[in-house]
Amino acid sequence: MLRTPTGGAGDGTATADARWVSIGTVLTRLREEFPEVTISKIRFLEAEGLIEPQRTPSGYRKFAPGDVERLAQVLRMQRDHYLPLKVIREHLDALARGEQPVLPSPGGQRDLGDGVWDSGPGAATAARIGRAELLAAAQVDEEQLEEWESYGLIVVAPEGGYDAEMV
Q: How far is CA 76 from CA 25, 63, 84, in A?
A: 19, 18, 12
Of 50-64, 66-80, 97-111, 143-157, give the lowest mean pLDDT range. Answer: 97-111
Per-residue pLDDT reduced to its tens digit, 7-52: 444 444 344 456 899 999 999 999 999 999 999 999 999 999 999 9
pLDDT band, residue 142 (cuts 50/70/90): confident
Q: How far apart are CA 105 and CA 120, in angstroms?
A: 9
Q: How far apart are CA 162 and CA 132, in angstroms?
A: 10
Q: Residues with Cβ < 8 Å from 46, sequence gap 6 or more?
A: 52, 53, 61
Cα four-point dihedral sign 141, 142, 144, 145: positive
Per-residue pLDDT reduced to its tens digit, 156-166: 776 667 776 66
SS3 content of the chain, % helix, strand, coil (to 5): 40, 10, 50
Q: Which element (helix H / strand E) includes 136? A: helix 131-138
Q: What's the whole-model pTM score?
A: 0.53
pLDDT band, residue 127 (cuts 50/70/90): low
Predicted pLDDT of residue 117: 40
Tell me the three state secondary structure of residue 128.
strand
List of domains in the chain: 23-96 (1.10.1660.10), 109-166 (no CATH)
More confidently predicted of 62 and 109: 62
Tell me the three state secondary structure of residue 109.
strand
More confidently predicted of 75 and 15: 75
